[in-house]
Amino acid sequence: MSLMSSKRELILPFAVFVIFMTTVSILWNNSLKTQKSSFIQEIHNTGNLRAQEFFSSVKYNIKSLENLKQRIEMTDGSYFQYWEQDARLILEQNPSFKFVEWVDSLMVIRVVTPLKGNEAAMGLDLSTHPRSAEWMRHMAHASTNISSWTKLYQGGNAFLVDVPVFFKGRFQGSISAGMDFTNPFNELTSSLDLYAIEMQDENGTIFYSKNNPSTEDIADEYIFTTSLVIDPLDNRKWTFKLTPSDTDFMVARQQDTYILLIFATLVALLTSLLIYFYQSSRKKNIRLSYANNKLKDLNKSLKKERLKAEKSSLAKTEFISNMSHEIRTPLNAIIGFIEVLKLSKLHSSLQEYLSLMDISSKKLLLLVNDILEIDKIESGKVSFREDIFSPLEELKNVISIYRPNAEEKGLHILLGSSHENEHSVKSDVGKYGQIITNIIRNSLKFTENGEIKVFYREEVRKETLAIEIVVKDSGIGIPKNKLKTIFDRFTQIDAGKAKRHEGSGLGLYITRRLVELLGGKITVDSEINIGTEFCLNLEFPIAEVKQDSCLPSAEQIDLSGCKVLIVDDNRVNVIVLKMSLEKLGIQAESVCNGLQAVEAVAQNDYDLVFMDIHMPNMDGFQATEEIRKINREIAIIGLSADVTKEAIDEAKIVGMNDYLTKPISFDKLRNHLPNYLVKMS
């Protein structure tokens, strides 16, 4: 049954192929006939045109002799005095002329121009010459005589043209010339490379040919032949032949037709195959249609689940952002009070407790920052600044920060560099510092004995600086089966309830993502109980470094007497910030919302406003816009736990001079405020 079905499926494709090829064959034969007819017509048109040009050229050249005859006859022979000049002018203007001579009525050659090379013809008596009869016959009829292709006494061959001259009522002689039309004919055929041309006189002598015509191998229908009566009195005719110069001329012209035939055959074959495959696949299409409907139903279900997942992811992101903001707000107060208490004189035991509180609060802040950083990375909201900094100098700064922590554990951090003159680059110094910090923190966390070696290398590549930083520790190492996952989020080496090292498992994940966003690469190699080596490769544009002017340090600047307004609805935050400012000698006042802030600025002379963002009645952005309407000079610094890029961008748009995120340390205040409160000591 299957074999019979297969044979039935072949009938229609085979019939289509036969019909298609029959039609193609008929069209192809018609095309060949049309091409042949067109080419024959082209040969005849070209032959007619070129023959007329050739014969016109002959008549034009002979006309110059007849014009000389008229000048002599009109002057009754006086024009003979200009014979030499006129004859030379004819020779110069008409390359077909070999010489011009005067034959008197006794048939004796009296003058030849030019004489040189034609001395043998001078004084020659033509009365006994074989062509004397035709010369006399033309003189009697006063018509121009053109001889056959003739061998000359002085050497060579030419046509002899005789023009009889009559004046004073009788025959005086003839102007004769030797003519060879090769040069003018060559000019006429310079663009006829596709054709061969042949000219014969009435005796069949070939006196001109082009492209070596060979008519034996070419059919008569492709040969154009015509004749011209060049001398009516003697019935002399010249024959003009034009043929294709290439014997395979039709092959080249029909090549495209053969290509089309092959193409049409392939199309016919493919069409037949398509019909066959279409018929053989019809049954399968029914099953596929059923499966496709099932797939559509499945896709609808997947789409619903994807929307649910997206909503869940969005809710998670919003939750993380809100919770991080809510955590940072009270954390700001805790860290602020710790900063204030650290500046106070406390009992040594309390100082120890305070130090532990400081460490714990900063660990909590790092965890919150990591969560926010992941939220920004995964939502595509990471922004990069363009700072100018030295990568080596920034590396030294990070190491100097963590060197005390290392020494507390009995470790050493060693820095090696092959460069004394470090270059400056243009990139985000914060992101660069965060990457190095995370790597060094990781090494410190998992190293109990020994040392941490950091090696820095840089290389200038045209307009960029390629840097390589290697951090090698002598810590616990990473198992080989975990090397590939070490940069995944929430991944730790000692996971589980019995783990000995703290951490969220986010630091190296954030590091890898930041390195990728900066266009760099980070790799890791490790051995258990031997240590771990991180290799970081980054490339930054080189920046021109401007010489810093000699500015006093933050400790040299006296801020006493400055007046600052704190705008915040959180009482604890206000107390902490006030205490920090008073330690710097700054007088601080506070209000709890934006409306009160606008009124306070209008009624008082403040040097600076610390503006919280989230407040009742009027938020910090609205309050800033209102203040800018009445005071364009006062410095306004946004101070909020909201660290999103959108909040920072909006702060700049509404007119804030700067934007600081909570919590803010005492050292950061002391280093930052001189930019806006300048009172030198």
Spatial separation of the C-alpha atoms in residues 98 and 82, rounded to whole Å:
19
The alpha carbon of 406 is separated from its chain's Cα centroid by a whole number of angstroms, namely: 52
Task: Kindly state the average pLDDT of the residues 522-533.
Answer: 88
- Summarised one tens digit per residue, pLDDT across range 381-390 is 666 778 888 8
Task: Kindly state the average pLDDT of the residues 585-593.
Answer: 90
Task: Kindly state the average pLDDT of the residues 254-259.
Answer: 71
Name the pairing type of β-strands 635-640 and 608-611.
parallel
In this prediction, residue 349 carries a pLDDT of 61
Least confidently predicted of 66-75, 112-121, 669-678: 669-678
For domain 383-486+517-541, the CATH class is: alpha beta
Proportion of the chain in helix, strand, coil states, percent, rounded to 5: 50, 20, 25
- Summarised one tens digit per residue, pLDDT across range 529-570 is 888 999 999 999 998 765 444 445 545 567 778 899 999 988
Percent of the chain with pLDDT over 90: 16
- Summarised one tens digit per residue, pLDDT across range 363-414 is 566 556 656 656 666 666 666 778 888 888 888 888 887 888 888 888 888 8
Give the domain ranges of the chain.
383-486+517-541, 554-675
- Summarised one tens digit per residue, pLDDT across range 635-652 is 999 988 776 667 778 888
Q: Is the pLDDT of residue 61 over 70?
A: yes
Task: Kindly state the average pLDDT of the residues 454-459.
Answer: 90
Task: Kindly state the average pLDDT of the residues 451-455.
Answer: 91
- Summarised one tens digit per residue, pLDDT across range 122-135 is 888 888 888 888 88
Banded pLDDT at 511 (limits 50, 70, 90): confident
Asked if 199 and 186 count as a contact pair (C-beta separation under 8 A), the reply is no
In this prediction, residue 521 carries a pLDDT of 92
Nearest-5° Cα angle at 143, 137 to 148: 70
In this prediction, residue 320 carries a pLDDT of 60
Task: Kindly state the average pLDDT of the residues 50-75.
Answer: 89
Q: What letter represents residue 144's amino acid?
A: T
Give the tokens for residue 21: 């090829």
Nearest-5° Cα angle at 222, 217 to 224: 115
Q: Is the pLDDT of residue 71 over 80?
A: yes
Q: Is the pLDDT of residue 498 over 50?
A: no
- Report the 3 state secondary structure along 589-641: EEECCHHHHHHHHHHCCCCEEEECCCCCCCCHHHHHHHHHHHCCCCEEEEEEC
What angle separates helix 620-630 from helix 594-603, to the nearest 10 degrees?
20
Spatial separation of the C-alpha atoms in residues 51 and 628, rounded to whole Å:
96
Name the pairing type of β-strands 109-113 and 97-104.
antiparallel
Task: Kindly state the average pLDDT of the residues 514-518.
Answer: 88
CATH classification of 554-675, choosing from 3.40.50.2300, 3.30.420.40, 3.90.550.10, 3.40.50.720? 3.40.50.2300
Radius of gyration of the chain, Cα coordinates, nearest whole angstrom: 54
In this prediction, residue 240 carries a pLDDT of 92
- Summarised one tens digit per residue, pLDDT across range 291-345 is 788 888 888 888 888 888 667 656 665 666 566 666 666 766 676 667 666 666 6
In this prediction, residue 494 carries a pLDDT of 52
Q: Is the pLDDT of residue 105 over 50?
A: yes
DSSP string, 77-98: TGGGGGHHHHHHHHHHH-TTEE
Least confidently predicted of 310-314, 514-518, 528-532, 580-584: 310-314
Distances (CA, A) of 117 to 87, 103, 152, 482, 545: 16, 18, 12, 107, 90
Asked if 528 and 479 count as a contact pair (C-beta separation under 8 A), the reply is yes
Banded pLDDT at 598 (limits 50, 70, 90): very high
Q: What is the DSSP letter of 487?
A: T
Q: Is the pLDDT of residue 348 over 80?
A: no
Beta-carbon count within 10 A of 260 CB: 14
Percent of the chain with pLDDT over 70: 79
Banded pLDDT at 163 (limits 50, 70, 90): very high
Asked if 505 and 490 count as a contact pair (C-beta separation under 8 A), the reply is yes
In this prediction, residue 251 carries a pLDDT of 66
Task: Kindly state the average pLDDT of the residues 40-62.
Answer: 89
In this prediction, residue 550 carries a pLDDT of 46
Q: Is the pLDDT of residue 681 over 50?
A: no
Q: What letter represents residue 113's amino acid?
A: T
Q: Is the pLDDT of residue 675 over 90?
A: no
Q: Over the chain, what is the mean pLDDT?
A: 81
- Summarised one tens digit per residue, pLDDT across range 27-41 is 878 877 887 888 888
